[in-house]
Amino acid sequence: MEHTLFCLLLLLSTHIYSGHSDDDDGQAKAVLTKHPKSSQIFSGESVTFRCNIQRGEVTDWKYTWRKDGSDFLSRKHEYEISEVKISNNGDYRCLGTHIDQKKHSKWSDAVRLTVTALPETTLTVYPNPAYTGETVTLTCSVGSGWNYTWYKDNTKKVVTFSGRHTTTGTTFTIRRASDSDQGFYWCQGEIQSRSISSIISDPVTITVKERPAAVLTLQLNWPQIFSGETVTLRCDIQGGEEIEYAFYNSGKLVYTKTEPEYRIDPAKNGLYTCEGLQKRNGLKHSQTSNDIQLTVLDQPQAVLIVSPQWLNPGDSVTLSCGVKESSTGWRFFWYRTVPYTAGLLSLSDRSYSVEPLSGNGTSEDSYTLIPAGPSHTGGYVCRAGRGDPVYDTLYSKPQFLWSGEPQPSVSLKMKPNRTQHFTSKSLSLSCEEKGNTIGWKLKRYREKAVESECGSIWGSIAGSKCTIMFTFSWDSGVYWCESGSGEYSNAVNITVAVGHLILESPAYPTTEGDSVTLRCTHRCQETNPIPKVDFYKDGVLIRNETTGEMTIPAVSKSDEGFYKCKSNKAESPESVVRVRGVTPGPSTSDPVGVVVGLVVAGVLLTILLVLLCRYKNAKGETFIISH
């Protein structure tokens, strides 16, 4: 029994070492592979053959390599040719011999190695020579599957790319060619995954010539042109001979002539350029000129700014006028608004007629009222003109110089009498003219424009009273009364708040020394009073109050500014507090005179007392008269 088991083990061992197994009693098979797998291998590439025996480990075998019938042995299962040559062409096989059992595998199938000489590279360029500013295209041709490297000046200097240089596939593009693009160029194909390069191309030389310059000018040196104006473009080309002048609008040819000027009547929008064309063949002769953008606009409207808009008697007020569309070549004209009268210079909507403040206008874009007083309150407009004959803008929208002081002739009254109001509330305003309200109209200025009087599209009129039954945030604005003769009442800047807090402050300027109380009011004040609030002046916290009110016992000019109040949950809008100075009386205007008066009074009183004493003494004495 033991003898039989030993024989079986010996037989099994012999079977395994001879390359057999229970599953396959045949001879082991050698499999040969080539890397890279491409059927086209170029000279200089590295090629590796791998021989895999389908049984055992690669170290169990030594290998016989065969090329076209010639054999050589190796312990390695790989055979590498680092730089293949044409002479390496042929059919390759491999065979494995087991190191211990000396058994051979089957020969692998033949693998063909075909080595191809490196391809030549063809480089072409168009156009050549090229003119400055043209696009030059270089094309490199090797075959499919190649990437390309471009060289300039020498075969080791790769082209430096910039915004003008791009590559796409087989092409290298130079846009806006310049002198710096001149020189020798080469190209070479590469297959980067295999580290192989084609034969570098023959060099080509690029020559860049300078075209004559073309200069386009606008005869009226105004970049913006207005509807109805006529403009002339002129194209100047140095050395221009036997050429035609071509004018383009946004790249489209619009005019060609032998004269260098193009008169556009009427002016049209567009981006204009010009260039010279050779008469004999129509080819481009010059560079394309600079471009000129013509923007034909509707008649412009002047823009007026009044600064400051609230009168502080004695201070100067500046009117500034501009034309948003253009800032060159204008002269400015200044006007004051008056009630509309047919036949007078008037605004297009007939809201006002205008009277000039200066006859010939000013070259400066500002006009100053020095000093400004109550007689200067009212509306102002401006306009600008240029050219000969003068081309005028539209009048500006009216801007106003307001006064918060009640005027002798009329006063604007409000109910409730405050400058801040909640939305969804009623507000009444009236023009009170010493008992007579005939001829006055209530107007308001909102969102940088004056609106028609009360009763037209806002508010309702009942006698002398204008009522806004249901206030909205857009009812915020400046309100004033205006008479048919051009007089103005005091103005009030009303704010309609959508939030929960407003600040109750004086609606009119207060006098120095008066007591002023600011009150913070909640939308639901009766049910939700605000005991604790913070008061701010010009954005700076100035006081914490637990009563919801802040009192300034004796207000002064330093107290002028913008005030607001703030609770832990809400914040009011800002309101301005204005303070008028006290006009000194004679008793306080000349302290020296007061002192002198007191001294004189004292002297007179002393003399009177002395005379009185002497009189009393004289009555008490007895005089004896001797005969």
Residues 6+ apart with CB under 8 A from 23: none
User: Any idea which residue has 């129509």 for tokens?
Assistant: 282
Mean model confidence pLDDT for the chain: 84
Residue ending a domain, choose from 468, 498, 528: 498
- Predicted confidence at residue 260, as pLDDT, reads 93
Domain of residue 323, residue span: 302-401
Q: Do residue 469 and residue 423 come from a single domain?
A: yes
For residues 414 and 432, the answer to whether their CB atoms sit within 8 Å is no
pLDDT at 327 over 80: no
Q: Do residue 220 and residue 287 come from a single domain?
A: yes
* 339 cis-preceded (ω within 30 degrees of 0): no
User: Any idea which residue has 């800002």 for tokens?
Assistant: 574
Going by C-alpha positions, the residue among 50, 166, 28 that lies closest to residue 98 is: 28
Q: Where residue 607 falls among pLDDT bands split at 50, 70, 90?
A: low
- Pairing mode of beta strands 171-174, 165-168: antiparallel
Is 609 a domain residue? no
pLDDT at 319 over 90: yes
Q: Do residue 309 and residue 347 come from a single domain?
A: yes
Is 605 a domain residue? no
pLDDT at 281 over 80: no
Q: Do residue 483 and residue 509 come from a single domain?
A: no
Residue ending a domain, choose from 116, 141, 170: 116
For 272, the enclosing helix (H) or strand (E) is strand 270-278
Is 612 a domain residue? no
**In sequence order, what E strands does 288-344 have?**
292-297, 302-307, 317-323, 331-339
- Predicted confidence at residue 56, as pLDDT, reads 81
Q: Do residue 435 and residue 353 come from a single domain?
A: no
Into how many domains does the chain fold?
Answer: 6
| Cα 402 to Cα 444: distance, rounded to the nearest angstrom | 12
Give the tokens for residue 383: 């306009």
DSSP state of 58: G
Q: What is the pLDDT of residues 151-173, one digit of tens each?
A: 998 888 888 878 899 998 899 99
pLDDT at 227 over 70: yes
For residue 297, CA distances in Å to 207, 235, 347 come to 45, 24, 20
CB-count exposure of residue 546 (10 Å: 0-12, 13-18, 19+): exposed
Is 616 a domain residue? no
For residue 599, CA distances in Å to 388, 528, 589, 592, 594 come to 74, 63, 18, 11, 9
Q: Do residue 316 and residue 278 come from a single domain?
A: no
Residue ending a domain, choose from 183, 209, 235: 209
- Predicted confidence at residue 241, as pLDDT, reads 63
Q: Do residue 489 and residue 530 come from a single domain?
A: no
CA 358, 359, 363, 365 dihedral sign is positive
| Cα 20 to Cα 28: distance, rounded to the nearest angstrom | 8
Q: Do residue 307 and residue 291 come from a single domain?
A: no
| Cα 409 to Cα 411: distance, rounded to the nearest angstrom | 7
Is 253 a domain residue? yes
pLDDT at 463 over 80: no
Q: Do residue 193 and residue 229 come from a single domain?
A: no
Task: Work out the average pLDDT over 274-289.
Answer: 82
Percentage of the chain with pLDDT > 70?
Answer: 86
Is 198 a domain residue? yes
Report CA 404 to chain centroid distance, whole Å: 39
Identify any residues that bridge with 256 across adjacent strands, giving them in sequence order: 246
- The full DSSP string for 392-459 is EPBPPPPEEEB--SPPSS-EEEEES-SSEEETT--EEEEEE-TT--TTEEEEEEETTEEEPPTTSSSS
Q: Where residue 482 falls among pLDDT bands split at 50, 70, 90?
A: confident
Is 603 a domain residue? no
pLDDT at 371 over 80: no
- Predicted confidence at residue 619, as pLDDT, reads 46
Round the CA-based radius of gyration of the chain to a whole number and report it.
Answer: 52
Q: Do residue 315 and residue 384 come from a single domain?
A: yes
Q: Do residue 409 and residue 391 come from a single domain?
A: no
Task: Work out the average pLDDT over 298-324.
Answer: 90
- Identity of residue 294: L
User: Any idea which residue has 């895999």 for tokens?
Assistant: 52
| Cα 365 to Cα 297: distance, rounded to the nearest angstrom | 21
Is 13 a domain residue? no
Q: How far apart are the first and last CA of the chain?
A: 209
- The full DSSP string for 160-229 is PP-TTEEEETTEEEESS--GGG-EEEEEEEEEGGGTEEPPPPPPEEE-EEPPPPEEEEESS--SEEETT-
| Cα 395 to Cα 478: distance, rounded to the nearest angstrom | 22
Percentage of the chain with pLDDT > 90?
Answer: 42
Q: Do residue 314 and residue 228 come from a single domain?
A: no
User: Of 217 and 131, which is predicted with more confidence?
Assistant: 217
- Predicted confidence at residue 582, as pLDDT, reads 76
| Cα 488 to Cα 484: distance, rounded to the nearest angstrom | 10
pLDDT at 18 over 50: no
Identify any residues that bridge with 460 across adjacent strands, giving them in sequence order: 467
User: Of 15 and 486, which is predicted with more confidence?
Assistant: 486
Residues 6+ apart with CB under 8 A from 162: none
- Predicted confidence at residue 220, as pLDDT, reads 73
Of the listed ranges 68-77, 470-479, 594-603, 605-614, the one predicted with least confidence: 594-603
- Predicted confidence at residue 5, as pLDDT, reads 44
pLDDT at 531 over 50: yes
Residues 6+ apart with CB under 8 A from 472: 423, 496
CATH of the domain at 524: 2.60.40.10
pTM of the model: 0.54
